[in-house]
Every structure is written in C-alpha cells, then in structure tokens.
Amino acid sequence: MRLYSLLAAAKINLYLEIIGDRPDGFHELVMVMQSVDLADRVTVRSLGPETIRIRCDHPEVPTDGSNLAYRAAALLVEEFPNIMAKYGGVEITIEKHIPVGAGLAGGSANAAAVLVGLDLLWDLGLTQLELQTLGARLGSDVPFSLVGGTAIATGRGEQLDFLYGLDGLWVLLAKYRQLSVSTPWAYQGYRQQFSHTYVSDDVSRQARQARVRSGAMVTALGRQDGHQIGQALQNDLENVVLPAYPQVDRLRQVMAEMGGLGTLMSGSGPTVFTLAATLEEAETLKHQVSERLADTDLELWVARFTPTGVRLMD
C-alpha cells in the first residue's frame, strides 16, 4: 500500500499590519511570517473505497468536510474528477502537535501537507505555483504553509515574497488550553475600531512590499539581528484581542517582563510568543513563566525557527 508521511510546520507572525478592507470581506495585510519546528505529522494513504477519510488524535479537530485538510483533498478531486476511479480513495491521518485554534496556522499546515502528499500519491505532477494557487483557494495562510521559512505576505496573506531566513532563533510559545479566539471576530473588531487608520485603498502591491521592506522588521531580518527583530515585533490584532481577553493580556505582560528578545501575540491569538537567542534562554523563560503562572492551565512549547513548511519524511 502506498503512503506518504509529511511534517507540517506551525507559523508565527513576526509582523502583522492591517492596511485596508477588501471588497471580498477580507483585509489587506502586510505580514512577516516565520515557520517554527512545532509540527503536525500528516500521512496520506490509499484506500479501497472512493472516499476521503480523516483520522485525528485530537478530540477538537473535526473529521468531516469542515476540516481544511478534508477540503484540500476534496479540491483536488474537484480539479481531477477521475482521480479516485484510478487511484481509489484516501485516508488522511493527522497527528496533532500544533495547538488548535491558536493563531499558529495548524489547520492551514495540515491542508498544505495534504496537497503535497496527494500530489505524490496520485502522481499529479503539480508545480509549486499550481500548489500555491490551489492553496490560496483553501485559506490565506495555506500558500505560506506549503513553503515555509521566512516571508513577507501581502494581499490576503497569500502573496508571498520570500526572505533569507534566520537560522538559530528560538521561541517560547504559550497558550491557555481552554482558550481560542475567532479569527473573523478579531478582524471584524479591528475594522470597526481602527478603519480610520488604514492607508489609502489604491496602494499597489509593489508599494506595500516597498513599505514593509523599508520597515524595521525586514531590515532587522536582513541584518540577522535578534535584538532588532525583537524590537520590531508588531501585531495590529493585539489592539482588539488583548482588551477583550485580559488573561491573554496578562500572559503577554508576564512573558515580556521575563526578558528574551521580544514578546508578541501570534496571528489572531491567543498564543503569545517570546523570542530567545538560544535553547537555554528559551528553556529558562519557559521555567520562569510556568512558575509565575503556576495556577493556570497554561501550555508551553519551545520551538526553533525552521526554513521549511511542509517536509516529506523518509
């Protein structure tokens, strides 16, 4: 029986600026995305019956058509209508390590892994560009999750401009187990409260990229300077999420007080991260944060910046 196993990495946003509304209800973004080596393991395997089946070891992950990984497989079946008649169905097994509903693009990473895995299992011969175009139809973060590394993301988040990555930075990630934040809610809240801060709607893609390229974050990445990267961290969604979730606000304050290179909420939250120069520093921060917030159901992970999104396992 043929099967492929893939590692699908989580991402953090080192920079997330909301620069406008879009007619499709989404928002124009300027982001810097970074993959970290906290990864799910996704396996695709041929099935006799012509069906898509999802298995996952995490109770909160749906196994029906609402799972983005399922939708990735369904999209390929739609694009290649006879594919199951030739190859049979597929069983997708997701071993979850990336926290769910966390602002770390775990669902997008799983969908990206399914696209890569089924391209192999079904001998589709898709190019990287074709995979990215299909990925963008599934979700704004899927194109980045496919390739990973370090990238400027504009538009909805699907237009990518890759940067030289930064090897060796570490990150402490923290999330309350029971808490998740609705991404549409966070963006709508931002629109309601902060749309007066938007830059002009007619700014071209090139102008947006020029704007972020000349900004402090991309400059710091170019210099490979962890301290400057820590100082340039920015996420506009903090302005909506932190006032509404005092627990996350407090977590962010505690983590920032402990030191490290800089602290930020990732995506629409509620995961908060602190950058660290070494593994030892990240482990020390982990210990300090868990001692300070010992009475809570906080989950903590130490991870490293990684240059890959989806990676085929041997």
Question: Measured between alpha carbons, how far is residue 140 from residues 77, 107, 134, 158, 237 in Å?
Answer: 21, 11, 11, 5, 16
Judge whether 286 counts as a catalytic residue.
Answer: no
Amino acid at site 294: A
Q: Is 63 in the site for ligand C5P (CB under 6 A)?
A: no
11 binds ligand C5P (CB under 6 A): no
Stretch that binds ligand C5P, among 136-144, 200-208, 258-266, 279-287 (CB under 6 A): 136-144
Helices 106-121, 68-79: crossing angle, 10 deg rounding: 30
Identity (one letter) of the amino acid at 250?
R
Q: Compute, in degrees rounded to 10, the torsion defined by CA atoms 159, 169, 172, 260.
A: -120
User: If binding is defined by CB under 6 A, does position 187 make contact with ligand C5P?
Assistant: yes
Number of residues lying near ligand C5P (CB under 6 A): 11
Q: Of the candidates 251, 258, 212, 250, which has an alpha carbon nearest to the alpha carbon of residue 234?
A: 212
Q: What is the DSSP letter of 270?
A: S
> Is residue 96 annotated as part of the catalytic site, yes or no?
no
Interaction between residue 183 and ligand C5P (CB under 6 A): yes
Span near ligand C5P by CB under 6 A; candidates 25-33, 78-86, 197-205, 208-216: 25-33
Among 103, 117, 149, 157, binds ligand C5P (CB under 6 A): 157
Nearer to ligand C5P, 29 or 73 (CB): 29
Region from 36-44, 125-133, 138-146, 208-216 binding ligand C5P, contact rule CB under 6 A = 138-146
Identify the residue among 29, 104, 109, 255 touching ligand C5P (CB under 6 A).
29
d(CA 153, CA 144): 8
Q: Which candidate, 155, 190, 124, places its Cα nearest to that of 30?
A: 155
Which chain residues interact with ligand C5P by CB under 6 A?
Answer: 26-27, 29, 139-141, 156-157, 183-184, 187
